[in-house]
A = this chain, B = another copy of it.
Amino acid sequence: MTETYSPSQTVEMSGFSLDTLRYYEKIGLIEPVRRAAGGHRRYSDDDLGWLDMLRCLRGTGMPIARMQSFAELARAGDETVAQRLALLEEHDAAVEAEMERLIEQRDKIREKIVYYRSYLDREPVVCEAR
């Protein structure tokens, strides 16, 4: 049988806030979620899987607008696999570039750290009065 999850469970499992889950649904990042009798959402395992994908894309800096394109392609069915692949490959390259930039700048900061350390070694502690 297929599991379903309440909004609060989904918050817990997905790491998105309740508001963000509703927002993502509203803007079409996730398909309209199944509802229980009274109108309350019931997320499926599929929904959870999709949310996990979204988390990876957002977490690696993909803008919402691009994620919407991706979601639209996914909704369109199997003929769009090639386009989705292209989109992900392009994003992967962007992430790679971003990481290289990050490493470069981190290294510069580390140089600065080393410099500060050496400074403190030279001038160990300044006692306030002689």
| Residues of chain A having any CB pair with chain B under 8 Å | 52-53, 55-57, 59-60, 78-79, 81-82, 84-85, 88-89, 91-92, 95-96, 98-99, 101-103, 105-106, 108-110, 112-113, 116-117, 119-120, 123, 126
Contact = CB atoms under 8 A, between A and B. Distances in A.
> How many copies of this chain?
2
Nearest to A85: B116
A95 B84 contact: no
Most buried by B among A53, A88, A116: A116
Nearest to A89: B113
6 contacts: A56-B106, A60-B105, A81-B116, A81-B120, A92-B106, A102-B102
A102 to B, nearest CB: 6
